[in-house]
A and B are shown apart, each in its own frame.
Chain A
Amino acid sequence: MTDTAVETAPETTSDAKLASTYCTFSLAPYRFAIDVQAVLEVLRFQDLTPVPMAPPDIAGLINLRGQLVTAIDLRLRLGLPPAAADRAATHLVVRDGDVISSLMVDEVGDVCQLAPERHEPTPEALQGPARDLASGVFKLEDGLLLVLDLAKAAATRSVVR
């Protein structure tokens, strides 16, 4: 019993948990990164069926090949102004445990490798709702890349205060 505990202990440290491949996306003015393992697919021009009476940040349902997927308007969840009506949002279909949801974002960027040691805690300077959905940051030459806390981003209810 004690042997296994010792063996598994290092794996549970925060460094080991960090993935090194990220998919980036933008939610103006922020740039986010999400563990690429969690991303199932990226969709554009998806028919969205709104669900009356749902919370405003739950945009509706999309039909993903016969599967119902809940679309979450990440802009609204973050407390950002809504996207321009004429701009089709990009759906980032993600899996959090057993639940598949679609995060509506401005634009999906590159997939990039980021060394775990560059991962830093969210700086105090970053305030506002974006902070609530970030589990940390990567400092890049061209700015801050926020690591999305998927569990919070796809949570049943908005955790943003």
Chain B
Amino acid sequence: MDDMVKDFLIETYDNLEKLDQDFIVLEQHPDDKERLSSIFRTIHTIKGVSGFLDLTKLMALAHAGENLLSKLRDGVMKLDEDRANALLKLVDGIRQILGSVETGSTEGTVDYTELAAHLNRLADPAAAPAVAAPTAESKPTSAVERKPEAVVAEAAASAASAPKTEVVAKTPEAGAKAGGEGAGLADASIRVDVEVLDRLMNLVGELVLTRNRLMLHPAVGSDTGFQGLAQSLNHLTSELQEGVMKTRMQPIGTLWAKLPRVVRDLSKLVGKTIRLEMEGQDTELDRTLIDALKDPMTHIVRNSIDHGVETPEGRIASGKPPEGVLTLRACHRSGNVVITVDDDGRGIDPVKIKAKAVEKGLITPAQAAQMSAADAVNLVFAAGFSTAEKVSNISGRGVGMDVVKTNIERIGGRVDLVSRLGVGLTLTVTIPLTLAIVPALVLSSGGTHFAIPQTALVELVRIKPEVIETVFDVPVYRLRGQILPLVYLNKIMQGETAPAAIAAPAVSAPTALSVLILQANDSRYGLVVDAIHNTEEIVVKPLSKHFSELPAYAGATILGDGRLALILDVIGIARLARLGQRAGAVDAKADQVLATDRVPLLIFVSPDDGRMAIRLDQVTRLEELPTSGIERIGTGETIQYRGTILPLVRVFALLAERRNEPRNPESGVPEGMLQVVVHTVRSADASAEGQRVGLVVGRILDTVEESLAMNKAGSRAGITGCLVIQGKVTELLDVDWVVRQAHPELSAQPELSA
């Protein structure tokens, strides 16, 4: 059954129980306007939703009831026994229809037109004088007899008094109990106070920690009997943990389910065509978070419809398809639930926003002048701000966005706005999963233990300090071609912010650094730590208010050994290191490096399985020539090549070797063959053909495109520098130097001309 229908059934059953009681009370106090209004609203809601769910019979019946109730509510007529009977029959009828919807997904075959007609007659006696008095069997007392099980009634009553503190713990496969009273769904799910679940959750958390500690106990390893017991405790705990977590989790789809209707109705109302798309509906999050998100989500969607997306005419005028698209996405990222609301509307004009804010007295003109566009966009979150040029009845009363922000921040979340003027608006809501038990990596820095949620962790690498490069004062590490800024945790923890915190390591840098590659929102960075210990399941415990101003922590936890560890907030640390501000510069530089400095390189084997590279533009041809063809002229070696004499240069013999006797100078080359890179020496006279030389090298491995940003300057003459290519340190050969050394007469010409 559709989730929406199921929710409707559960909700309506609850409301019906309340209606029964309301009617009884109403008979004693027929003038209780408030109660009448509430009944009217309930029936009205049933009418509305049943219309939406295409339950026509139910809608017709509810509509008839609504007619009568509106008369009663407005005081046009009084509730007498006849009317009360008819209304109670109405409740019965609704319940019967719900019952058949629940069991058969249809409204059943019973005909309610007579009841509806009767209700209408009662509502409008002038038009059709009442004829049939209700039969005796449906006296008001029958409602008392029908009084449902106390549990459900109680739950319904408490639901009415404190709906926010409750959660519906649904059991799947609700026993499809047939029957007109249709209490199947209501029976299969019970309402549980969230506090009870919270307590359970905490206890399970402690149980998990105790289990972890037990599993580390030496007795587990030595005593087989004990080991067995510990194992089953282990499994049971895991299952219990999962089960308790599940009771609190609900897919975000339940929250979004109401939005298609909202979008449809509102866009009609404002004369726009908007398509709603949703991704990641099954992303689960804590029920309390779902509750807290309900209003903000609606606000955000309403805002997008009202302010964001243009009218079809406006869209066509700006070259967009007439139909606007509103996209909702949800996913788990870095231990957070990230919800984005994307529209392809007009975006936010920072200039307009500033003008409005000045007009409203939120900022001074001087402040406006200094304010950046990004900051200006965020003014929509200021209290009392409304951007709509005309106040509509949907949004634009200036209470929307600041309420959204406050509500989301109250549950520890964050709202970010990215506006692309004329193209659209992306609103990102990030909510941390503070209640969950999360797998985490335990590490230490500066003697303190920290934990990082595994979800934020991309990979672990150990790097040598010398491979760290610096781009605009930011140390970066090149991970498979991706440039990642590095952050030193110990420096952050010493309160050093950028640029000190991300400056190169101290002189006594260890031989290798442990780096955690972390995902913070859309960007990645490397966190340098002292030591990485183990992974552990941790219970996130919130830190007290005393630490609320420390963005570096997402909470704390107690580790298996009883030690306390602070949980690092991956995004907070990025903010402390001011990576956000620098990321742009680093990215730009990286792009530039990649775009302009990428050159094709030829890689070959150097002695002792080293790697060396030559710029491909310095390579004229690659030849494999037999050693038997070598002829000696004077001190040099030559070989006949395409009708010319090609001087040969033994590259490795020229280079200062790291060892005295290279074991295998031209390794990998077939016996009796020479691997020759033909290089054309530039001639002073551009028109004249340059002199060619043959560089004798090792086995040719590959050609790659690589940026020439050196990791390290060359350690010996003839080497321009070192690069990491395909994960190997590769020396870049200075071809000009080689030629100069071997044949000074050839290379002299270009130098003279220059």
Contacts and interface: CB of A to CB of B under 8 A. Distances in A.
Interface of A: 47, 49-55, 58, 61-63, 66, 68-70, 72, 99, 101, 156
Nearest to A55: B546
Contacts of B448: 49-50, 52
Given A49-B448, A52-B552, A70-B547, 4 more contacts: A51-B566, A68-B541, A72-B546, A101-B544
A66 B206 CA distance: 7
A99 B550 contact: no
Interface residues of B, number: 26
9 closest A-B pairs (Cβ-Cβ)? A52-B493, A49-B564, A70-B544, A156-B545, A70-B546, A68-B541, A58-B546, A66-B206, A61-B564
Nearest to A154: B546
Contacts of A58: 546-547
Contact of A53 (B206, B493, B546, B564): B493
B553 A51 contact: yes
Nearest to A71: B546
Contacts of B446: 52
Interface string B536-580: 000001011111101011001010001111100000000000000
A58 B552 CA distance: 16
Given A61-B556, A66-B558, A156 B550 contact: no
B543 A68 contact: yes
Of A47, A52, A53, A66, the most chain B CB neighbours within 10 A belong to: A52
Nearest to B539: A66
A68 B545 contact: no
B550 A54 contact: yes
A156 B546 contact: yes
B555 to A, nearest CB: 9
Given A58-B547, A66-B206, A68-B544, A53 B556 contact: no
Nearest to B450: A52
Contacts of A62: 564
Contact of B556 (A68, A99, A101): A68
B209 interface: yes
A71 B545 CA distance: 12
A53 B550 contact: yes
Given A52-B493, A52-B494, A68-B543, A63 B562 contact: yes
B564 A68 contact: yes
B636 interface: no
B465 interface: no
Interface in B424-478: 446, 448-449
Contacts of A63: 558, 562, 564
A53 B544 CA distance: 15
B562 A53 contact: no
A51 B550 contact: yes
B495 interface: yes
B180 to A, nearest CB: 48
A54 B546 contact: yes
A83 B553 CA distance: 28
Interface string B515-555: 00000000000000000000000000101111110101100
Contacts of A68: 541, 543-544, 556, 558, 564
Nearest to B562: A63
B209 A51 contact: no
Contacts of A54: 546-547, 550
A99 B542 CA distance: 12
A90 B493 CA distance: 27
Nearest to B449: A49
27 contacts: A47-B564, A49-B448, A49-B563, A49-B564, A49-B565, A50-B448, A51-B543, A51-B553, A51-B566, A52-B448, A52-B566, A53-B495, A53-B552, A54-B547, A54-B550, A58-B546, A62-B564, A63-B558, A63-B562, A68-B543, A68-B544, A68-B556, A70-B543, A70-B546, A70-B547, A99-B544, A156-B545
A134 to B, nearest CB: 21
A70 B566 CA distance: 13
Nearest to B555: A68
Interface string B593-618: 00000000000000000000000000
Nearest to B553: A51
Contacts of A55: 546
Contacts of A70: 543-544, 546-547
B209 A66 contact: yes
Contacts of B544: 68-70, 99, 101
B545 A99 contact: yes
Contacts of B209: 66
A70 B544 CA distance: 7
Nearest to A67: B541
Contacts of B546: 54-55, 58, 70, 72, 101, 156
Of B209, B558, B564, the most chain A CB neighbours within 10 A belong to: B564
A51 B565 CA distance: 9
Contacts of B545: 99, 156
B199 to A, nearest CB: 13
A10 to B, nearest CB: 33
Contacts of B566: 49, 51-52
B378 to A, nearest CB: 26
Contacts of B541: 68
A127 to B, nearest CB: 27
Contacts of A53: 492-493, 495, 550, 552
A67 to B, nearest CB: 8
Nearest to B448: A52
A129 to B, nearest CB: 18
A93 to B, nearest CB: 13
Nearest to B446: A52
B540 to A, nearest CB: 11
A72 B562 CA distance: 21
A72 B544 CA distance: 12
A156 B543 CA distance: 12
Contacts of B565: 49
A156 B564 contact: no
A49 B562 CA distance: 11
